[in-house]
Amino acid sequence: MTPQFGAMSSVEQLALHVGRFPVRAAQAADRTELTGNGVLRIAPSELCALVQAEFPALHVSLDLVHPGDPVRIVHALDAIEPRFKPEAGCAFPGWTGPVVPAGEGTVLALDGVAVIVSGRPAGAQPAQVEMSGPGAAYSPFAATINVVLTCEAPGMSPADFDRAVRLLGLRVAERLGRAAAECGRPPAHTETFRLADARTGQAPPAGDLPAAGYVLYVQSQGLLRDTFLYGRSAAQLLPALLHPNEVLDGALVSGNYVIGCQKNPTYLHANNPVVGELYRRHGRELIFRGVIVANEESGFAGKQAVARRVARMAGLLGWGGAVVTKEGGGNADSDLMLACRYLEAMGIRTALITNEVAGQDGASQPLVDFTPEAVAMVSAGNIDAEVDLPPAERAVGAGAGADWQKAMRVPLARLYCATNQFGWGRLRAVSV
């Protein structure tokens, strides 16, 4: 389908309509479709073959897992919300279609469903989702119906495997999203994201509302810890200014497979909670003035250079304040702190979201790096705290077997998205 480029909207008028189709159950079937009563029927053979032409050596199997199932999903790599754009563009520009700026038009989403890609590339840290029991509270995907794609490819190069599983996950997600477009019914509800006021069609009067923005650090430091903007690795990215709608419309895709609790999967990029919060307050308590995407460089000089550019860009945009988030920990703490320091030096007030490494007993220093300007931080929890998990009746995913069904005591680090630093969760640490 050729993308249609009509007149370009003004920045304020740019509107993204997210139409949601609630799904109450998923089942294997002969055809992939969304029924009238919210059942997602899935043809496994169709979905598992979606990268077969390019990567014939990839073995894929599919499992359906529902909230409350006595199941442990293991070796999660990425999670993706099923989405489809019925008009111009595609759900994941640069991956499932050409690079067209995202953030405009209608995107349809299957609400309450996630595609979870599972695999064991060497060097990835095991990440698990508890679908029931005490561990369920720690992951957003305990509450979604999960289409788990288990991927194995003995002998495939790491770079090929990485690309294969990403492409598979995104294609499956878009194929499932297409079921919504084909079901012949409108979405149950549609949320519209637009910086202009819905009633007046004008930008909200600034008055004395402060201008604020969001600095979104992504991690692109090589294989297994990469993030993609419009299909391109963010490795050489200089800080980029995005309309918030672009973040909500598939511009960012995750390729980051280390330390499970700290992950920013593709699902949470497209449903970024900070973007959601700033939009909610836009025009009432602040004026939301954009998202700066920056890379967590692996050299210190690079980190400093990026942080300075971020601060300059934010200054040029007239921001009075910024929420700053990161992905990962350890060396990523330095990016967060450098950005904080340079933004504050520019007169821009910051609020940071970070998880902590306070040790199993909570008695170690919570942060690896810090700067005295970091006076406003939100805690996403201590990744070292341990959680007791009861046995699971079934384990699903790459390498799932009897070993994974046992009761276990694991550091929070293993629970997928448990300390998510986009701020999805309600887990925090306090000093006692």
Site for other proteins in 273-332 (CB under 8 A): 273-274, 276-278, 280-281, 285-286, 298-301, 320-323, 325, 329-331
Tokens encoding 185: 């019914």
Q: How far is the CB of 102 from other proteins (least distance, A)?
A: 21
Map residue 279 onto helix, strand or coil. Answer: helix
Q: How far is the CB of 158 from other proteins (least distance, A)?
A: 8
Among 247, 337, 392, 400, binds other proteins (CB under 8 A): 337
Map residue 396 onto helix, strand or coil. Answer: strand
Asked if 385 is part of the footprint of other proteins (rule: CB under 8 A), the reply reads: yes
Interatomic CA distance for residues 171 and 83, integer angstroms: 10
Asked if 343 is part of the footprint of other proteins (rule: CB under 8 A), the reply reads: no
Among 151, 340, 367, 417, binds other proteins (CB under 8 A): 367
Interatomic CA distance for residues 377 and 429, integer angstroms: 12
Please, which residue, 103 or 140, has the CB nearer to other proteins?
A: 140
Contacts with 141 (C-beta within 8 Å, 6 or more apart), sequence order? 73, 76, 79, 114, 116, 129, 267, 416, 417
Q: How far is the CB of 226 from other proteins (least distance, A)?
A: 9
Asked if 375 is part of the footprint of other proteins (rule: CB under 8 A), the reply reads: yes
Please, which residue, 174 or 327, has the CB nearer to other proteins?
A: 327
Q: How far is CA 400 from the centre of its chain?
A: 24
Contacts with 407 (C-beta within 8 Å, 6 or more apart), sequence order? 388, 389, 390, 391
Asked if 134 is part of the footprint of other proteins (rule: CB under 8 A), the reply reads: no
Interatomic CA distance for residues 319 and 24, integer angstroms: 42
CB atoms < 10 A from the CB of 112, how many? 19
Q: How far is the CB of 73 from other proteins (least distance, A)?
A: 20
Count residues near other proteins (CB under 8 A): 88
Asked if 76 is part of the footprint of other proteins (rule: CB under 8 A), the reply reads: no
Q: Which stretch binds other proteins (CB under 8 A): 21-29, 47-55, 164-172, 376-384?
A: 376-384
Mask for 136-155, x = binds other proteins (CB under 8 A): -x------------------
Mask for 181-220, x = binds other proteins (CB under 8 A): -----------------------------x-x--------
Among 119, 239, 255, 366, binds other proteins (CB under 8 A): 366
Ramachandran bin of 397, using left for φ above 0, alpha for ψ from -120 to 50, beta for the remaining angles: left
Contacts with 286 (C-beta within 8 Å, 6 or more apart), sequence order? 209, 210, 211, 212, 278, 321
Q: Which residues pair with 389 in a beta bridge?
A: 408
Interatomic CA distance for residues 361 and 96, integer angstroms: 45
Among 26, 110, 270, 383, binds other proteins (CB under 8 A): 383
Q: How far is CA 211 from the centre of its chain?
A: 25
Tokens encoding 162: 């990485």
Among 369, 399, 405, 410, binds other proteins (CB under 8 A): 369
Tokens 């919210």 locate to: 38
Please, which residue, 137 or 241, has the CB nearer to other proteins?
A: 137
Please, which residue, 140 or 187, has the CB nearer to other proteins?
A: 140
Asked if 255 is part of the footprint of other proteins (rule: CB under 8 A), the reply reads: no
Among 378, 394, 405, 410, binds other proteins (CB under 8 A): 378
Asked if 39 is part of the footprint of other proteins (rule: CB under 8 A), the reply reads: no
Mask for 392-431, x = binds other proteins (CB under 8 A): -------------------x-x------xxxxxxxxxxxx
Paired sense of beta strands 225-229 and 252-256, if any: antiparallel
Asked if 1 is part of the footprint of other proteins (rule: CB under 8 A), the reply reads: no
Max CA pair span of the chain:
62
Contacts with 391 (C-beta within 8 Å, 6 or more apart), sequence order? 405, 406, 407
Sign of CA dihedral 167, 273, 214, 261: negative
Q: Which residues pair with 291 in a beta bridge?
A: 214, 242
Please, which residue, 221 or 266, has the CB nearer to other proteins?
A: 221
Q: How far is the CB of 185 from other proteins (least distance, A)?
A: 31
Please, which residue, 144 or 331, has the CB nearer to other proteins?
A: 331
Q: Of 154, 173, 142, 176, nearest to 78 (Cα)?
A: 173
Please, which residue, 159 or 188, has the CB nearer to other proteins?
A: 159
